[in-house]
Chains A and B, each alone.
Chain A
Amino acid sequence: MSTNTSTEARRGKAPAGERVADWADGRLGIYSLAKTNMRKIFPDHWSFMLGEVCMYSFIILILTGVYLTLFFHPSMNEVEYHGSYIPLQGQMMSEAFNSTLHISFDVRGGLLIRQIHHWAALIFLAGMFVHMMRVFFTGAFRKPREVNWLFGFLLLVLGMFTGFTGYSLPDDLLSGTGVRFMEGAILSVPIVGTYLSMFLFGGEFPGGDFVARFYSVHILLLPGIMLGLMVGHLILVFYHKHTQFAGPGKTNNNVVGMPLLPVYMAKAGGFFFLVFGVITAIAAIASINPIWSMGPYRPDQVSTGAQPDWYMGFSEGLIRTMPGWEINLWGHTLVLGVFIPLVIFPLVLVAIAVYPFIESWVTGDKREHHILDRPRNAPTRTAFGAAWISWYFVLMIGGGNDLWATHFHLSINAITWFVRVGFFVVPVLVFIATKRICLGLQRRDRDKVLHGRESGIIKRLPHGEFIEVHEPLSQDALHTLTAHEQYKPVEIGPTVDENGVERKVKGTEKLRAKLSEAYYGEESQIPKPTVEEYKEITSGHGHH
């Protein structure tokens, strides 16, 4: 055919790269894909890179994890140790522990990879936590990104459990204690607890199965789901285009920044190596999870200071500070002392996960939002987030109560009581304080807009009065400080229509009005300066 020959003739001249791309385009349609994405714009802000920290840590985890599977034996058969670590020679231990020692002492570079893997896991979770807080406090979860918020939340939760199962694999004395705790928690579940425990462990604890089972969960099931979620998360980021902070030229229907090719290709690609490099250096410098000093797991041995990795710290706090309630009735036991923490554990996480939906219900706002809020301009949300973080950290203190006690010479009982009270009180105090601080900052912004920036120049007026000269802000700054919008509280509206017939007001409607008042009432936001106010002041006597 003529068209065929003509394209072939053209191909003969095209460079090799283009010919490959042509081939791929004919089969995959990559040109259309590249048309929309190759010069995709990403805004520059350090906090927008937190998600990348997580993604890269995850990739590092997969790479190092694959390496570790080449040497790790997920088996609980008891063997005698004859490796090169002297203080354990001749000890009975599971093959899992034995092979982990082998990786650490007898595989060259094995210890490094193990440490990179574990450090990357801690940083992955810490990164997700901070990334989520960034999204939360800037309101980046609003429409159209609610689904992506949930994807991210699921990644955090799955990351926690992947971390926990991985931590349990070496079958050392510390992680075994953690697994024992998990068994106890499962036993506390009413009615089915014992069955679940028997099914999970293949019989009584510890049995001979859990390492192999956790292994497949840790290396296959959970990371597989996470990989899918992460791809979805990224596709949505591309599809929605990134949010940006308010500023000159930045509107709700554009995105200002640098193109993917070449700047972000280099920056984001380079950042992967930076993250990998930093984590590797940390793994070279600092020891993590030295299982050889913990020894193999035995259910009758334990060490003080037994804690899970940090991301499970808040659940440890819950379990440590819960009073030992137990109800025995009709031959059955309700183990509230363990079961209540087990129920609160997911609730702590769900509390933050559902917040976006509550906020969108209160505001009733159905528009898309691509301009980020400054935390101060959403005082109630910011206060809620800060309260949640404080709640989380109070529980973390509870989870490490023994170390607080020894390192600060405190009584462990006193710390436990502090956490018991603080669980209820601290978030409330933090909520109130944060809201006040946000309102104070809003007032300051308002003053800045209306009266200008404090220049630091003191002027003496003819009649002797000293004043500080205020410089008016540039239009850029004026725009940035006033770009946010302020909601008005929802009103229930007339309860009696024009014919005098009383309308029934639904409970949810009342609740929404109340919440809206709490969010956007006079107490909860400082009205931003209006053009009229500005003009009145600037046209008048200037500064005062």
Chain B
Amino acid sequence: MRGLVRILDGNIFALSEENGDMVFSPANPSGFFALDTRFLSTWRLSLDGQQLHPLAVHDASYYKIRFFLVPGNPTHYVDAKASVIRDRWISDSAFIERLTLLNHTNEPVDYVLRIDVDSDFAPVYNVVWPHDSTLRGYRKVSDGGLRLGYRREKFHRVTDVSSSEPAELDERGMTFRIQIPAQQRWSTTLRVEARVLRPDGADVRERLGHPQGRVGAPLDDDLSQWLADAPRLRCDWEQVTTTYQQGLVDLAGLRFSPLALPNETMLAAGLPWSATIIGRDNILTCFQTLPFVPRMAATTLRLLALDQGTVLDDFREEEPGKMLNEFRYGELAAFEHRPQSPYYGAADVTPLFVVLLDEYERWTGDAALVGELEDAARAALHWIDEYGDLRGDGYLWYQPRNDESGAQNHCWKDSPEAICYQDGRVPGLPRATCELQGYAYDAKRRGARLAREFWGDPAYADRLERQAEELKQRFNRDFWIDGSRYFALALGPDGDQVDALASNMGHLLWSGIVDPSRAAAVADHLLGPRLFSGWGVRTLATGQISYNPLGYHVGTVWPFDNSLIAYGLRRYGFLKEAGAIAEAVFRASQQFTGRMPEAFAGYERELTRYPVPYPAANSPQASATGATFLLLRTVLGLEPYGEHLVVRPAVPSSFGRIELLNIPGRWGRRDAIGSPRAAAS
């Protein structure tokens, strides 16, 4: 995607050109988006019929931006007799733009300022995967402003545009005819509201007790409070502090209040194309950030439990006890062209729910939530055996039932070619990828702890532990490729090993399913030349037929993936290797001004010298942002142990001294300080 200018507030965002305009064309993703719908696709400003050109763009914060513009084409110098400032921000779910026109001459001047407004009301999915789109719906001019609307049966989306100053309205926009005295200025504030109307004319959110935006404080105060609550980081390697600060701001920007829990906030998974609840990304990001900003995890767990599957539904790939993969509110979900209402096609989210619940309690001591979610967690654990173990052999498998609009792979590498043999063939169905077995193992072990300590059910705990142990034995036997000494990426439908060398086995170290005798061989592969690019571990190793340094899941490097791998390496005692990955990923973040990209190309570091971002990546992306936090936890060696925070730093020399102050948890607040000298290796 081209570098569009963006502002966001959780699941509401706007993308535009460098001059602030949104220009409609089928391949252009610019617009104002809310609830998975593009509410504005044209928003073009002109002065006396001339386009405006940017002199400067200042993005003061994630939710506000300022454009300095002049009419005409600035050549080698600018001699504008007028200029325009466009201040844009998001407030109460509305898109606001304050236009200021400055007359730089010593005469009064008459101006015609025009803003063209239109919309195609496209579902966000059709913007991500460009379809032919046309401007749709009706237009209505009234005293109060201009309304663009789109109706399909009772489904009704409306964009209301109004101005604080008088304007001439027509169905295609607004015109201001103004006279500005010498050296004076004029301004107006335009307000664009995205509304989801019911047949009775009310906005659905108003009738559901939704506060329409942040609870209470305005965004400025809210952001400073968020930053003040988070632990303070000081690191000799300045880049690490910069990336951490950017990470905190990006997490703040991704927060939104879900309809079902309107007074709490959780994260949208990524901007712009995943501005919604994605079960996997939400859980992983909470896991990554628990030592820093633990509150979101409670909301996320509660929300996923509310939306937990209760029936068999082939279209949505829903089963009782299963946790959702994706929720969308747009036209495609409403009319069942796509299954995200919500969609459950993922085999990893359900065990990871239990993993997060346990980890959350270990950090926060919030036993009440463990009690509140007991039935949901039990149903999730039951799902693994009843609906995940498709072949009755004790493994977690997936077999899509929605072939038309569902995902073909029900794991984080969900693109069709991601799960493959070394020779490039794609296995039949069902498939059991290796990391799913690790998650199931971990879920059972953690579920056992919850059952014993909180649910008063030691017999259930024993059973879960026994199952986990059997799974571990079986897994180390069936997935291990003897000659090559690594774990197969998956088992295929005949129980054969899908033998590609991939990053997935790094997650196995995180889950703890790897027999200790095999861990060194796994670590060697992860840090070896085929998987490690110098910027991190590739999703798929070089030498595999499907490897492509720009392949979404078959060669790129993903920061979130690397953070889990580093944490897993540390768990098995590979401190130096964990540090090497942390260093590589922070080094890469330097090229992106501290904003961790979703993925970057798998090119050898020596070849390109700088990490090449993946072209269509989300930014910010919640789980990529989360990588920063889990990598810091890894090098500082932060672990809750009973009521205490244990700090065992293993800091690579490039980091220098790290101080993390005010780490929240069941202990109140604690500090962690580490420096390279303290490293054991």
Indicate, yes or no, whether A interacts with B. Answer: no
Interface positions of B (Cβ within 8 A of A): none
Interface positions of A (Cβ within 8 A of B): none
